[in-house]
Structure 1
Amino acid sequence: MTSIINEWQLDCRLNKAINQHHRADFALWLAFLSPAIDEMAEFQTPQLQPAVEKADLYTRFSLMQARGFGWHEQDLNTLSCHSRALHTGGLHQLKLQQYLAAGPLVLQDDKAKLATEVVQNLDAHSLRRREGNTVRRDEADPTALYDILQQLHQDDAA
Protein backbone atom coordinates (compact mmCIF):
# COMPACT_ATOMS: atom_id res chain seq x y z
CA MET A 1 0.00 0.00 0.00
CA THR A 2 1.33 3.40 -0.88
CA SER A 3 1.07 6.15 1.67
CA ILE A 4 -1.30 9.04 1.00
CA ILE A 5 0.60 12.30 1.02
CA ASN A 6 -1.64 14.95 -0.45
CA GLU A 7 -5.26 15.45 -1.44
CA TRP A 8 -4.64 14.76 -5.13
CA GLN A 9 -4.14 11.12 -4.25
CA LEU A 10 -7.60 11.02 -2.64
CA ASP A 11 -9.27 12.13 -5.87
CA CYS A 12 -12.61 13.69 -4.84
CA ARG A 13 -13.27 11.74 -1.65
CA LEU A 14 -12.71 14.75 0.63
CA ASN A 15 -15.03 16.89 -1.46
CA LYS A 16 -17.77 14.23 -1.47
CA ALA A 17 -17.52 13.76 2.28
CA ILE A 18 -17.98 17.51 2.85
CA ASN A 19 -20.85 17.87 0.37
CA GLN A 20 -22.72 14.85 1.74
CA HIS A 21 -22.12 15.92 5.39
CA HIS A 22 -20.25 12.71 6.27
CA ARG A 23 -18.08 14.06 9.07
CA ALA A 24 -16.61 10.69 10.00
CA ASP A 25 -15.47 10.01 6.43
CA PHE A 26 -14.02 13.50 6.15
CA ALA A 27 -12.11 13.06 9.42
CA LEU A 28 -10.82 9.67 8.27
CA TRP A 29 -9.51 10.96 4.92
CA LEU A 30 -8.07 14.04 6.57
CA ALA A 31 -6.18 11.86 9.06
CA PHE A 32 -4.50 10.03 6.16
CA LEU A 33 -2.93 13.22 4.83
CA SER A 34 0.57 14.18 5.81
CA PRO A 35 0.80 17.17 8.19
CA ALA A 36 4.09 18.34 6.64
CA ILE A 37 3.66 21.57 4.68
CA ASP A 38 6.45 20.80 2.23
CA GLU A 39 4.67 17.61 1.15
CA MET A 40 1.36 19.28 0.35
CA ALA A 41 0.31 19.47 -3.25
CA GLU A 42 0.10 23.26 -3.39
CA PHE A 43 3.66 23.91 -2.34
CA GLN A 44 6.76 23.31 -4.41
CA THR A 45 9.55 24.27 -2.09
CA PRO A 46 12.68 25.60 -3.78
CA GLN A 47 15.99 23.87 -3.32
CA LEU A 48 17.81 25.48 -0.43
CA GLN A 49 21.24 26.90 -1.02
CA PRO A 50 23.93 25.85 1.45
CA ALA A 51 24.54 28.44 4.14
CA VAL A 52 27.58 30.64 3.78
CA GLU A 53 30.24 29.63 6.27
CA LYS A 54 30.52 32.20 9.02
CA ALA A 55 33.67 33.23 10.82
CA ASP A 56 34.49 30.85 13.66
CA LEU A 57 34.08 32.90 16.83
CA TYR A 58 35.46 30.13 19.01
CA THR A 59 38.92 30.38 17.46
CA ARG A 60 38.73 34.15 17.19
CA PHE A 61 38.17 34.59 20.93
CA SER A 62 40.14 31.46 21.99
CA LEU A 63 37.08 29.76 23.51
CA MET A 64 36.65 26.05 24.12
CA GLN A 65 34.05 24.19 22.07
CA ALA A 66 30.99 22.98 23.93
CA ARG A 67 31.38 19.45 25.21
CA GLY A 68 29.35 16.63 23.71
CA PHE A 69 26.93 14.68 25.85
CA GLY A 70 28.56 11.28 25.29
CA TRP A 71 31.41 9.42 26.95
CA HIS A 72 35.00 10.34 26.00
CA GLU A 73 38.28 8.68 26.92
CA GLN A 74 39.35 11.44 29.32
CA ASP A 75 36.06 11.28 31.27
CA LEU A 76 37.39 8.63 33.63
CA ASN A 77 39.84 11.19 35.10
CA THR A 78 37.07 13.81 35.29
CA LEU A 79 34.72 11.48 37.13
CA SER A 80 37.43 10.43 39.57
CA CYS A 81 38.05 14.14 40.34
CA HIS A 82 34.31 14.50 40.96
CA SER A 83 34.38 11.54 43.32
CA ARG A 84 37.32 12.96 45.30
CA ALA A 85 35.60 16.35 45.48
CA LEU A 86 32.46 14.75 46.90
CA HIS A 87 34.38 12.80 49.53
CA THR A 88 36.61 15.69 50.62
CA GLY A 89 34.41 18.77 50.31
CA GLY A 90 30.86 17.49 50.17
CA LEU A 91 28.11 18.44 47.80
CA HIS A 92 29.24 22.07 47.40
CA GLN A 93 32.70 21.02 46.27
CA LEU A 94 31.21 18.49 43.85
CA LYS A 95 28.96 21.16 42.29
CA LEU A 96 31.95 23.46 41.84
CA GLN A 97 33.96 20.65 40.25
CA GLN A 98 31.09 19.85 37.86
CA TYR A 99 30.86 23.47 36.80
CA LEU A 100 34.58 23.55 36.09
CA ALA A 101 34.74 20.21 34.24
CA ALA A 102 31.42 18.70 33.23
CA GLY A 103 31.15 14.95 32.98
CA PRO A 104 29.27 12.87 30.40
CA LEU A 105 25.50 12.69 30.51
CA VAL A 106 25.04 9.54 28.38
CA LEU A 107 27.24 6.68 27.25
CA GLN A 108 26.71 7.21 23.53
CA ASP A 109 25.75 10.54 21.99
CA ASP A 110 23.35 9.50 19.23
CA LYS A 111 21.25 12.43 18.03
CA ALA A 112 18.95 10.23 15.93
CA LYS A 113 18.07 7.90 18.78
CA LEU A 114 14.59 8.16 20.21
CA ALA A 115 13.03 6.28 23.07
CA THR A 116 11.01 3.24 21.99
CA GLU A 117 7.86 4.73 23.50
CA VAL A 118 8.24 7.77 21.28
CA VAL A 119 8.94 5.74 18.13
CA GLN A 120 5.93 3.52 18.77
CA ASN A 121 3.65 6.57 18.98
CA LEU A 122 4.82 8.16 15.71
CA ASP A 123 2.37 8.28 12.84
CA ALA A 124 3.10 6.63 9.50
CA HIS A 125 4.29 9.86 7.84
CA SER A 126 6.74 10.63 10.64
CA LEU A 127 8.11 7.07 10.52
CA ARG A 128 8.54 7.37 6.75
CA ARG A 129 10.47 10.65 7.13
CA ARG A 130 12.56 9.18 9.98
CA GLU A 131 13.59 6.23 7.80
CA GLY A 132 14.66 8.67 5.10
CA ASN A 133 12.15 7.60 2.47
CA THR A 134 11.43 10.48 0.13
CA VAL A 135 8.23 11.08 -1.73
CA ARG A 136 8.36 10.91 -5.51
CA ARG A 137 6.91 14.16 -6.81
CA ASP A 138 5.34 14.49 -10.19
CA GLU A 139 6.12 17.76 -11.88
CA ALA A 140 3.13 20.05 -12.03
CA ASP A 141 1.77 20.65 -15.52
CA PRO A 142 0.29 24.16 -15.75
CA THR A 143 -1.49 23.33 -19.00
CA ALA A 144 -3.44 20.53 -17.30
CA LEU A 145 -5.42 23.10 -15.34
CA TYR A 146 -6.69 24.60 -18.61
CA ASP A 147 -7.91 21.18 -19.75
CA ILE A 148 -9.71 20.60 -16.46
CA LEU A 149 -11.39 24.01 -16.66
CA GLN A 150 -12.48 23.26 -20.23
CA GLN A 151 -14.05 19.97 -19.13
CA LEU A 152 -15.87 21.69 -16.26
CA HIS A 153 -17.14 24.38 -18.61
CA GLN A 154 -18.42 21.74 -21.04
CA ASP A 155 -20.18 19.89 -18.21
CA ASP A 156 -21.87 23.13 -17.06
CA ALA A 157 -23.00 23.92 -20.60
CA ALA A 158 -24.53 20.45 -21.10
Structure 2
Amino acid sequence: MQIDVPLINEVQIGPRLNAAIEHNRRGEFALLLSLLSADARDMAQFQFQKELSTDEKLQKQFDLPPKQCLIADLSAKDIVVDNSAVFSEQGKTAFQLQQALRPEALVIRGNESMAMTEALSNCDLTTRLRQRGQLQSPAMQPMHFAEQLAIQRHLVSVLATA
Protein backbone atom coordinates (compact mmCIF):
# COMPACT_ATOMS: atom_id res chain seq x y z
CA MET A 1 0.00 0.00 0.00
CA GLN A 2 1.40 3.38 -0.97
CA ILE A 3 0.03 6.85 -0.32
CA ASP A 4 -0.27 8.91 -3.49
CA VAL A 5 0.30 12.33 -1.80
CA PRO A 6 3.18 12.60 0.65
CA LEU A 7 2.35 13.56 4.24
CA ILE A 8 4.43 16.19 5.96
CA ASN A 9 2.94 16.18 9.45
CA GLU A 10 0.07 14.78 11.52
CA VAL A 11 -2.23 17.71 10.77
CA GLN A 12 -2.66 16.39 7.21
CA ILE A 13 -3.66 12.91 8.37
CA GLY A 14 -7.13 13.93 9.65
CA PRO A 15 -8.78 14.58 6.26
CA ARG A 16 -6.99 11.55 4.78
CA LEU A 17 -8.37 9.30 7.55
CA ASN A 18 -11.86 10.65 6.91
CA ALA A 19 -11.53 9.95 3.18
CA ALA A 20 -10.24 6.42 3.83
CA ILE A 21 -13.24 5.66 6.06
CA GLU A 22 -15.70 7.22 3.62
CA HIS A 23 -14.39 5.19 0.66
CA ASN A 24 -13.94 2.02 2.72
CA ARG A 25 -10.15 1.75 2.16
CA ARG A 26 -9.06 -0.24 5.19
CA GLY A 27 -5.46 -0.68 4.09
CA GLU A 28 -4.86 3.07 3.72
CA PHE A 29 -6.63 3.69 7.05
CA ALA A 30 -4.36 1.18 8.84
CA LEU A 31 -1.25 2.63 7.19
CA LEU A 32 -2.17 6.18 8.20
CA LEU A 33 -2.83 5.08 11.79
CA SER A 34 0.53 3.31 11.92
CA LEU A 35 2.25 6.56 10.89
CA LEU A 36 0.96 8.36 13.96
CA SER A 37 3.26 8.52 16.98
CA ALA A 38 2.10 7.07 20.27
CA ASP A 39 3.34 10.19 22.05
CA ALA A 40 1.17 13.25 21.40
CA ARG A 41 4.12 15.57 22.05
CA ASP A 42 5.68 14.38 18.78
CA MET A 43 2.81 15.85 16.76
CA ALA A 44 3.43 19.04 14.80
CA GLN A 45 0.98 21.25 16.68
CA PHE A 46 2.91 20.62 19.90
CA GLN A 47 6.33 21.45 18.45
CA PHE A 48 7.61 24.86 19.54
CA GLN A 49 10.77 26.66 18.69
CA LYS A 50 13.51 25.11 20.77
CA GLU A 51 15.47 28.31 21.51
CA LEU A 52 12.55 30.12 23.22
CA SER A 53 11.77 29.85 26.91
CA THR A 54 8.45 28.39 28.04
CA ASP A 55 6.99 31.84 28.76
CA GLU A 56 7.97 33.13 25.32
CA LYS A 57 6.54 30.03 23.64
CA LEU A 58 3.20 30.41 25.39
CA GLN A 59 3.15 34.15 24.73
CA LYS A 60 3.73 33.51 21.03
CA GLN A 61 1.23 30.65 20.81
CA PHE A 62 -1.61 32.58 22.46
CA ASP A 63 -0.71 36.02 21.00
CA LEU A 64 -0.32 37.58 24.45
CA PRO A 65 0.95 41.14 24.94
CA PRO A 66 4.27 41.68 26.75
CA LYS A 67 4.26 41.18 30.51
CA GLN A 68 3.05 44.12 32.56
CA CYS A 69 5.68 45.68 34.76
CA LEU A 70 4.81 45.10 38.40
CA ILE A 71 7.07 47.68 40.06
CA ALA A 72 8.32 50.89 38.50
CA ASP A 73 11.37 52.46 40.10
CA LEU A 74 10.98 56.22 40.42
CA SER A 75 14.65 56.65 41.26
CA ALA A 76 15.73 55.15 37.93
CA LYS A 77 16.43 57.38 34.98
CA ASP A 78 13.80 55.64 32.81
CA ILE A 79 10.53 57.47 32.31
CA VAL A 80 7.67 55.89 34.26
CA VAL A 81 4.57 55.27 32.13
CA ASP A 82 1.64 57.42 33.28
CA ASN A 83 -1.64 57.06 31.41
CA SER A 84 -3.68 59.28 33.73
CA ALA A 85 -3.45 62.27 31.37
CA VAL A 86 -5.02 60.20 28.58
CA PHE A 87 -7.89 59.24 30.91
CA SER A 88 -8.58 62.82 31.98
CA GLU A 89 -8.33 64.28 28.46
CA GLN A 90 -9.80 61.57 26.21
CA GLY A 91 -11.88 59.32 28.45
CA LYS A 92 -12.13 55.71 29.49
CA THR A 93 -11.88 54.04 26.07
CA ALA A 94 -8.73 55.92 25.09
CA PHE A 95 -7.22 55.08 28.48
CA GLN A 96 -7.93 51.37 27.99
CA LEU A 97 -6.32 51.48 24.54
CA GLN A 98 -3.26 53.29 25.90
CA GLN A 99 -3.07 50.84 28.81
CA ALA A 100 -3.08 47.94 26.31
CA LEU A 101 -0.34 49.56 24.20
CA ARG A 102 1.90 50.87 27.01
CA PRO A 103 0.80 49.42 30.37
CA GLU A 104 1.55 51.21 33.60
CA ALA A 105 3.28 49.45 36.46
CA LEU A 106 0.97 48.17 39.16
CA VAL A 107 3.10 49.68 41.94
CA ILE A 108 5.28 52.75 41.57
CA ARG A 109 7.94 53.30 44.21
CA GLY A 110 11.65 53.75 44.66
CA ASN A 111 14.32 51.07 44.62
CA GLU A 112 13.76 50.03 48.26
CA SER A 113 11.90 46.87 49.16
CA MET A 114 8.44 47.05 50.75
CA ALA A 115 9.81 46.35 54.23
CA MET A 116 12.43 49.11 53.86
CA THR A 117 9.76 51.53 52.59
CA GLU A 118 7.64 50.84 55.66
CA ALA A 119 10.64 51.30 57.96
CA LEU A 120 11.65 54.56 56.27
CA SER A 121 8.10 55.91 56.50
CA ASN A 122 8.50 55.80 60.30
CA CYS A 123 11.82 57.67 60.21
CA ASP A 124 12.47 61.40 60.16
CA LEU A 125 13.16 63.28 56.93
CA THR A 126 16.92 63.45 57.49
CA THR A 127 17.20 59.66 57.79
CA ARG A 128 15.06 59.11 54.66
CA LEU A 129 17.15 61.54 52.62
CA ARG A 130 20.39 60.01 53.89
CA GLN A 131 19.16 56.49 53.01
CA ARG A 132 18.27 57.54 49.45
CA GLY A 133 21.64 59.23 48.97
CA GLN A 134 20.18 62.74 48.70
CA LEU A 135 21.84 63.96 51.89
CA GLN A 136 25.49 63.42 52.69
CA SER A 137 26.54 62.31 56.14
CA PRO A 138 28.80 64.78 57.92
CA ALA A 139 32.44 63.95 57.45
CA MET A 140 34.27 63.02 60.62
CA GLN A 141 37.83 64.25 60.90
CA PRO A 142 40.04 61.90 62.88
CA MET A 143 41.39 63.55 66.01
CA HIS A 144 44.78 62.99 67.51
CA PHE A 145 44.82 61.23 70.88
CA ALA A 146 46.34 64.23 72.63
CA GLU A 147 43.51 66.46 71.34
CA GLN A 148 40.91 64.01 72.63
CA LEU A 149 42.53 64.04 76.09
CA ALA A 150 42.55 67.84 76.13
CA ILE A 151 38.83 68.00 75.22
CA GLN A 152 37.97 65.42 77.90
CA ARG A 153 39.89 67.38 80.58
CA HIS A 154 38.05 70.52 79.56
CA LEU A 155 34.68 68.72 79.78
CA VAL A 156 35.58 67.35 83.24
CA SER A 157 36.37 70.84 84.46
CA VAL A 158 33.10 72.20 83.02
CA LEU A 159 31.06 69.42 84.64
CA ALA A 160 32.84 69.88 87.99
CA THR A 161 31.89 73.58 88.13
CA ALA A 162 28.27 72.92 87.25
- Larger Rg computed on CA atoms: 2
For normalisation by structure 1, the TM-score amounts to 0.26
**TM-score (normalizing by structure 2):** 0.26
- Which gives a bigger RCO, structure 1 or 2 (Cα 8 Å, sep 6+)? 1
